[in-house]
Amino acid sequence: MSKRFGFVVGLYFGIVASIYADIGRWSPLGPIYGGVVRAMVSNGLYVYVGTRGDGVFRREIACAEWKQIGLHNFSVNALAIHSQVPGTIFAGLQSDGLYVSHNGGLTWAKLNRFADDSILDIKWHPKNPNLICLVSYFNRVAISRDRGLTWESRNHGFAHDAVIRSVEFHPEDESILFAATTGGGVYRSKDGGTTWTQANSGITSSSVFCLAHQPLTDIWYAGSYEHGVFRSYDMGERWEPINTGIPRIYPYSYVQVLEVDPKNPDLVYAGSREGFFVSRDRGDTWESVDALLPFDVRTIEPLATGLLIGTWAAGVFQKTVSDAWILWNDGLTNINISGFVIDPEDSRMMVATTWGAGLYVTRDGGMNWHLSDTGITNKMTIDTVISPGDPTRIYTTSDGRGVFLSEDSGRTWRPINEGLNAGIVTSILLDPVHPNRIYAGSEYRGLYRSDDAGESWQQTNLDRYAIWEIAVNPQNPDVIYVGTWGITAYAFEGLAVLRTTDGGSTWEIVLELQDAALALAIDPTRPDRVYVGTHGSGMFKSLDGGETWQSINQGLRELKIWDMLIAPWDPDYLFIATGGGGIYYSANAGDHWVEMNNGLESLNLTSIGLIQGRMNQLIAAGTSGFYSYTIPSVTSESTETVEPEVEKTEVFANFPNPFKFETWIPYQLVDNTDVQISIFSADGSHIRTLQASNRTRGVYTTRGTAVYWDGKNEKGVPVANGMYFYDFQAGDYRASKKMVVVR
């Protein structure tokens, strides 16, 4: 289980005719509109937003829907556009440098100057369309005077530990720039960025995230960590705090975006993790906007027709002419799913947690989702589980508010935190043997346990680690593994997998890591076989209960593993969800991995689950919502043909694929006919021909009806590892597909 997905097997009661469309292919389920908006710009006709993991979206201001226009699967930190350069947009990416579009975002080209750097901010001089300033993680500050064709580093004067977050030009004097840094406060340049000096007099925080300038009054504003907003009337010579009305709730309080109204110098806007604030008197006093509480505000874009607010996870809000706030999210499918669970008695119901948008429920198999977090006091929900003994009882965890319980299938919630002095609870797990025992992992205080179904909690002897994942041996619940995610503000130990064999009384490190342990799984049939997925080092496997480990990354092109699933029909079959590489599949206990991304639009996946029945249905979720993938049953022995309405003859992906010793090739026929399947090696050599004579119109997708191959050639000799192709012929229909043998 991970952040995720609590592995629950249910029965599938969907309409038969509707599920064959996604056999061997991922299909999107109903969207949850919203998303992580990291950047926002407008040219008066269009609004562009940069998202986490799903590139750039564009919306015509007069239109009703967002469209994804490029940079799929990339996280966009910054966007820049200039009114005097029509169609040109710069996009700064996380870990992939700088891109430019000259046709309004329809196509993008990478500028090699910044290679794989992370671009944190881009600012175009408001009056000089040739002058651009850029902030990157490695190259720091760079200036271009030819619209981005060439760049010069401008880093002299910055302290080594000052991480530059954003820059601002003075609109009337090109030689003056300000930079906000974490670790060094505010820096100022008076020579066009050639040299920089600190300008922190009066600023009581060393971490400044953002800056804003009001040209009509020449007032500068700075937003900081813990110490709110500061104001300067004299070009940064002296700053004063202006925080009346802005809460400071440690440890979350930092102002991360500031904006001034371009027409009214009295109006100043501030966004923080506590919401959105407005000052009508140049910062002397602030008022919160209740409609945007408790959303995490990241971007602010004043428009001629109003104001747009971009949030972490909840998407975009628009202020209407009547001062009401409405969601502006139609078509914005960048919601960041942190995990989901499936009701064990009714698989049409799923509960999804999100990074900042609240908790959502579907009761129709994912086609329609609705917000269902009444009673949950934090929109950042992280992990959730459903009680198998009573599916009306659902537990969820939050960032800063502990654990919540619903006793009415997710409709209402109440906090259950007696004894749980943990704040940020990152994971929750029900003991597979003791029905009332629950484990909760926290950032603050390690691992907690409840023996009364969550009504009270006790800390285990593991209190110095930030716990991200928990796994309990299903045959011996005294054996528990936890995965950590490193040193935080409250946890002082590092990255590791730890194990207890006495129910939590004593612990030992069994695997030291370089990255956070995001996923843990124990083979239910062979509990000494344990798997760990990490945030950058890929997969590890132990065959002796954690005593020794081996890296199992063959075939993986993405090593950020968010979730994993052990197939119930054969524990050698594994599925993993990765942050950038989509879904991978292994047929041999992780010794070799193969991508299975057919149909996926986004490869940033955080969770994977299974609905098991006559048709096995994988569900995956990530930064662009939910996908479904139907696997024909590998457990059904039925020889009866399923008879939904068949509109065309078609062959589907073989299952399993890859495979060790045997596989089945499913298909459907629109007419009565003979079926022939010819198998070839990768070099075109004929391996074997399989016949299926006198087949009637219908669907052949179960193990008892699909064409079977035992992995042997015409002479009965098992074929070697590698890629093979099967050529399917039925009447006039012919198609080829590939499969992989991994022994």
pLDDT at 422: 76
pLDDT at 16: 31
pLDDT at 165: 94
Q: Report d(CA 448, CA 482) in Å as an integer.
A: 12
pLDDT at 249: 61
User: Which residues are CB-neighbours of 28 under 8 A, at least 6 positions away?
Assistant: 601, 625, 626, 627, 628
pLDDT, one tens digit per residue, over 332-366 is: 988 889 899 999 888 889 999 998 888 999 999 88
Check residue 112 and report its DSSP letter.
Answer: G
For β-strands 132-136 and 425-430, DSSP reports them as unpaired
**Res. 632: pLDDT tops 90:** no
Q: Report d(CA 293, CA 270) in Å as an integer.
A: 13
**Res. 19: pLDDT tops 50:** no
Q: Report d(CA 190, CA 198) in Å as an integer.
A: 12
Query: What separation in angstroms does the CA of 358 have from each of 288, 343, 369?
Result: 20, 19, 12
Q: Report d(CA 408, CA 431) in Å as an integer.
A: 21
pLDDT, one tens digit per residue, over 392-444 is: 999 999 887 899 999 999 999 999 999 998 778 999 999 988 889 999 999 87
Q: Which residue type occupies 281?
A: D
pLDDT at 252: 55
pLDDT at 615: 63
User: Which residues are CB-neighbours of 415 under 8 A, at least 6 positions away?
Assistant: 375, 377, 401, 402, 403, 404, 405
Segment 256-276 shows an average pLDDT of: 92
pLDDT at 139: 75
pLDDT, one tens digit per residue, over 99-128 is: 999 999 999 999 988 888 999 999 999 999
**Res. 235: pLDDT tops 90:** yes
Segment 193-214 shows an average pLDDT of: 95
Provide the token pair at 307.
């104001």
> H/E element holding 16?
helix 16-19
pLDDT, one tens digit per residue, over 614-623 is: 567 899 998 8
pLDDT, one tens digit per residue, over 48-64 is: 999 988 899 999 988 87
pLDDT at 613: 66
Provide the token pair at 504.
């939590």
Q: What is this structure's pTM? A: 0.77
Q: Residue 590 — left, alpha, or beta (φ > 0 → left; ψ -120 to 50 → alpha)?
A: left
**Res. 641: pLDDT tops 50:** no
Q: Report d(CA 380, CA 634) in Å as an integer.
A: 38
Q: Report d(CA 28, CA 624) in Å as an integer.
A: 9
pLDDT, one tens digit per residue, over 160-196 is: 889 999 999 999 999 999 999 999 999 999 999 999 9
pLDDT grade, residue 214 (50/70/90)?
A: very high
Segment 578-584 shows an average pLDDT of: 93
The DSSP-derived string for 55-92 is: -EEEEETTSS--EEEE-TT--EEEEEE-TTSTT-EEEE
Is 288 strand, coil or helix? strand
Is 420 strand, coil or helix? coil
Q: Report d(CA 213, CA 227) in Å as an integer.
A: 19
**Res. 66: pLDDT tops 80:** yes
Q: Report d(CA 245, CA 230) in Å as an integer.
A: 14
pLDDT at 14: 32
Q: Report d(CA 532, CA 552) in Å as an integer.
A: 10
**Res. 661: pLDDT tops 80:** yes
Spatial CA neighbour of 551 closest among 505, 594, 511, 581? 511
Segment 275-300 shows an average pLDDT of: 90
pLDDT, one tens digit per residue, over 678-720 is: 999 988 899 999 988 889 988 887 777 889 999 999 999 999 9
pLDDT grade, residue 645 (50/70/90)?
A: low
Check residue 329 and report its DSSP letter.
Answer: -
Provide the token pair at 650.
């078609």
Which residues face 122 on adjacent strands? 134
pLDDT, one tens digit per residue, over 497-527 is: 999 999 999 999 999 999 999 999 999 999 9
Q: Report whether 227 contacts 248 (CB < 8 A).
A: yes
pLDDT at 53: 86
Segment 304-315 shows an average pLDDT of: 87
pLDDT, greater one: 172 or 139: 172
Q: Report whether 709 contacts 679 (CB < 8 A).
A: yes
% of the chain beyond a pLDDT of 90:
64
Spatial CA neighbour of 28 closest among 10, 61, 54, 64? 54
**Res. 637: pLDDT tops 60:** no
Q: Report d(CA 176, CA 191) in Å as an integer.
A: 6
Highest mean pLDDT among 64-73, 284-293, 309-318, 498-507: 498-507
**Res. 592: pLDDT tops 80:** yes
pLDDT grade, residue 489 (50/70/90)?
A: low
pLDDT at 10: 33
Q: Which residue type occupies 582?
A: G
Q: Report d(CA 509, CA 492) in Å as an integer.
A: 15
Q: Report d(CA 410, CA 404) in Å as an integer.
A: 10
